[in-house]
Amino acid sequence: MNLYLFFLTKKCIMDWITVRDEAVRQVLEQDRAGKSGSNKKRRTQILEKELTLGDIFAVILKRFWLIVLCAVIGLSGAYIGTTYFMTKQYTASTSLFVRSDSDNKTAQALATDLNISMRLVDTYMVILKSDSVLSEVANKLNLGYSAGDIRKMIKTSPVEETEVINVSVTNPNPAHAQLIANTIAETAPAEIIRVVKVGSVEILDKAKLPSAPSSPNVKINSLIGLLAGLVLSILVSLLLEMINTSVKGEEDLREKYPSCPILGNIPNMDESK
Strand, coil or helix: 257: coil
Say if residues 103 and 116 touch (Cβ distance below 8 Å). no
The arithmetic mean of pLDDT across residues 10-15, rounded, is 53
Residues whose CB falls within 8 Å of the CB of residue 149, separated by 6 or more in sequence, listed in order: 138
In one-letter notation, the amino acid at residue 163 is E
Q: What is the pLDDT of residues 236-246, one digit of tens each?
A: 888 887 777 67
Q: What is the pLDDT of residues 158-198, one digit of tens each?
A: 887 778 899 999 999 999 999 999 999 999 999 988 888 76
Q: How confident is the model at residue 101 (pLDDT cuts 50, 70, 90)?
A: low
Environment class of residue 50 by beta-carbon count within 10 Å: exposed (0-12), middle (13-18) or buried (19+)?
exposed
Backbone angles phi, psi at 166, to 5 degrees: -100, 130
Instruction: Say whether pLDDT at 60 is over 50.
Output: yes
Q: How confident is the model at residue 108 (pLDDT cuts 50, 70, 90)?
A: very low
What's this model's pTM, rounded to 2 decimal places?
0.65
Separation between Cα atoms, residue 174 and residue 183, nearest integer Å: 14
Separation between Cα atoms, residue 71 and residue 63, nearest integer Å: 12
Q: What is the pLDDT of residues 129-138, one digit of tens each?
A: 999 999 999 9
Q: Which of 49-63, 200-214, 259-273 has the highest mean pLDDT?
A: 200-214
CA 59 to mean position of chain CA atoms: 29
Our CA dihedral for 176, 182, 185, 187, rounded to 10 degrees, sits at -70
How far, in Å, are 55, 127, 165, 193 from residue 48 at the CA level? 15, 61, 59, 71
**Rounded mean pLDDT of the chain?**
78
